[in-house]
Structure 1
Amino acid sequence: MNIDWSKAPKGATHYCPIRKTWLKQGGHCTWLSWSPFGRTHEEVLIGWTFCHPPEDESALIKEQWTGEGLPHIGAVCEVRRIAWGDTWSKVKVLCYGEKRAFFQNADGTEQSLRLDKIEFRHIRTPEQIAAEEREAKAKEMYLSVYFAVSEESWDHVPEAMRETFRKAIDAGWQQVAP
């Protein structure tokens, strides 16, 4: 089933084809259902209302996280603390509070971190990892050839020259200790 997410109400994280409604997974394992019309106690009802959790979550269609903003609850992604220069860690997002995000780490332990001190990214594919490693080796080769330059100078190297270093890496170049 192909869902047009441009028609989803703001905040929708799932579409339930069984109920034919938009859903939003809130914090603390709550679920909200979009009601575009209706009445409750003689008041017009338009918006998000609490609902029972879906019977079969595997039937739900999740909106894909674009990498912008916060990942959806239940999303598996990578996170790191900005100021500490931590390595990226694979996590499952459990919920968000006012100032913290709560995760389940790959080893099953749970953790929370301040939202203003972390950043998220998609889990990288093997191709992305290989491309990053290739680029790092090309930069290392450049720095070993032009040892008097700073690491920041790599950003200003012309693309043709960068590609030459990448091709040397592909051909098997390795730095050997003197």
Structure 2
Amino acid sequence: MTIDWSKAPEGATHWDSRGNACSLGFMKPGLRTGEWEYAGCGGHWVLYGRADMNLINAMIPRPAPWSGEGLPPVGIVCEVKSGHGEFPTFVLCEVIAHFDGETKPCAAYVYTQHDGTRLVGQGTEQAFRPAPTPEQIAAEKREQEISELANDFYIVGFRSYRITAEDLHRLGYRKTEGGAA
């Protein structure tokens, strides 16, 4: 079972693996010692009450943030090196277990190929890195768009503003309602 912690409401510290029709599965400690609250279907916190052994055994703690040092913790989504050579790519994976390899500790992980096939792999700590944040993804997209625009400038040559504007127009760039192209 994969828990999507990105959908967890603020304050969620655990997941109730038993499931509940009126609960999103996310839990947090209540205001009083020993009490717990669960995220209700309406998105608000509901008092569960005192935790019994069934609940305690069913709760899965939220994985701690991983800095990129050592093996990623079980349950975390991160990136793993895929391919070999000078420019390997990275793919998203979920770490499912740790085990002792022949010479070093290893992590087992699952990932999805481009065709939708789910595969299992293993790697040492050097194979993993933290998944990019939404801010990093947006910055990479912006950099790619700027690089493409700069490439268009290179293709047309930076002759004059008027000629460059004509060439960019020919290439399909248009000024939109807020001034952005």
TM-score for both structures, normalised by structure 1: 0.42
TM-score (norm 2): 0.41
